[in-house]
A and B are shown apart, each in its own frame.
Chain A
């Protein structure tokens, strides 16, 4: 009943969308259909993406940028067209998009290239208490190497960033602020635009970890005015093995190469090299060409549906999930109210370890994640060793939330 009134609100054709994702027809065991609630870890892939990659390998593959034959030209064209699509998706220019292996590598690129040339002993980097290890450990490595100080914006009781504390910490004059736009544990969406403005006023560069955000909402880097942004294909319906770093042209120009090798050079002699232009200077070696093509197809797919519609759908599913789960005795949902979050709902169930919850749910075909979700310090800060996380995407349904709730009732019965 409730589910029906909810779902009618959306301008999203859920039946058609689900039909686009072959894996959603999978049965985990005979008669037990998959209920995939782990999209924050990695999203599933529509046929459009799988087909684009297959078509690339069947008809167009060759190495790019290095030959004049037909296939090489086609492959290069497809690779660069993908870059243009990804750039357009976040309102960037193609030369501002550096392909990496994932969001993690994009952040490491900034730490190693920009960080090593622009930061000196005693400089500060401002992070937050909700960062994924990907946006924490690269800075720890750099801090150790360069003798830097790390500060952390604390969280409020509801799992949002404490913006007053943020202002105070900006007063310490960090050279860089590196923040997630959406927490992969709490679901919190951070008011990143305002923080960019404050950071710039304080003279800091700002890096946005948009690994989560980019799959769920429209992003405009020009409007945000971020200096760097890390994004990841596999979280937004694209293949694994590719991500990107966005950097403002003038910032990227001021950075030395990260990895050396083919493609990133213009000229090489025995003792020195002349680097290539942006963005190739940061793309050493043969890149993930088919993956770029697949990611481009994913961006086309998502854009055709519309990020606004996707975001609205997920927030409403998350709101419904919070409502359903909160009715359960002993269950605590982490993070802020639905209006301030994306499609991630992490929770604890009193007296039952997340691993046991996830294992029992799996026997009903329900895929959730249990653990620290690559945010150990955040869990320690919350006084938890692990949580269970259900995460939603454009193909998630209210019925799946009902299945989750029913599964959790069974978990409670087993431990009763």
Chain B
């Protein structure tokens, strides 16, 4: 279990690289995990070609949820927004490099949930 709190995760939690808000932004979305009290917002800037040029997260929560948000926002920068659709639970676990119990999985996946809701929300708007 102490494995969960490997140095990389603690470092990311204490000294996140992508914490902040983007103003202006093209996409913003926030959600929470009321059970734990984890709150998360993700802001994205997207180029006309559909590339995520900048990503940032804000909010507060446990080390797992915050480290996961930091790693994920870093990972998606420079990638096509379209690629967000294909991201899965396994990708997040790969980024974190740990195994998680079902309850803690929710913490880790909050960032993916927020990101997907934000990205799809925008796509739906454009399609409409």
Chain A residues near B (Cβ < 8 Å): 352-356, 359-360, 362-363, 370-372, 376, 379, 384-386, 414-415
Is the Cβ of B107 less than 8 Å from the Cβ of A355?
Answer: yes
| Nearest 6 A/B pairs, CB to CB | A385-B37, A363-B1, A353-B62, A355-B62, A386-B37, A356-B63
Interface assignment of B22: CB less than 8 Å from any CB of chain A = no
Q: How big is chain B's contact interface, by range?
A: 20 to 34
* Chain B residues whose CB sits within 8 angstroms of the CB of A352 once the complex forms: 63
**Could you say which residues of chain B place their CB within 8 Å of the CB of A363?**
1-2
The closest CB in chain B to the CB of A357 belongs to B62
A360-B5, A414-B2 are contacts. A385–B10 as well, Cβ < 8 Å? no
- Least CB distance, B77 to chain A, in whole angstroms: 26
Q: Is the CB of B5 within 8 A of A414?
A: yes
Contact B10 A386 (CB under 8 A): no
Contact yes or no, B64 A356, CB < 8 A: yes
Complex partner residue of B1 from A360, A370, A384, CB under 8 angstroms: A360
List, in ascending order, chain A residues with CB within 8 A of B62's CB: 353-356
Contact of B2 with A355 in the complex, beta carbons under 8 Å? no
Question: Across the interface, do A386 and B36 meet the contact criterion of CB distance under 8 Å?
Answer: yes
Could you say which residues of chain B place their CB within 8 Å of the CB of A371? Answer: 35-37
- B36 / chain A contacts, CB cutoff of 8 Å: 353, 355, 370-371, 385-386
Q: B89: CB under 8 A from chain A? A: no
> In the complex the two chains form, what is the Cα distance from A376 to B34 in whole Å?
9
Tell me how far the C-beta of B3 lies from the nearest C-beta in chain A, rounded to whole angstroms.
Answer: 9
> Given A371-B37, A385-B38, 7 other A-B contacts at CB below 8 A?
A353-B60, A353-B62, A355-B107, A359-B5, A372-B37, A414-B10, A415-B14
| A385 contacts across to B, CB distance below 8 A | 36-39, 60-61
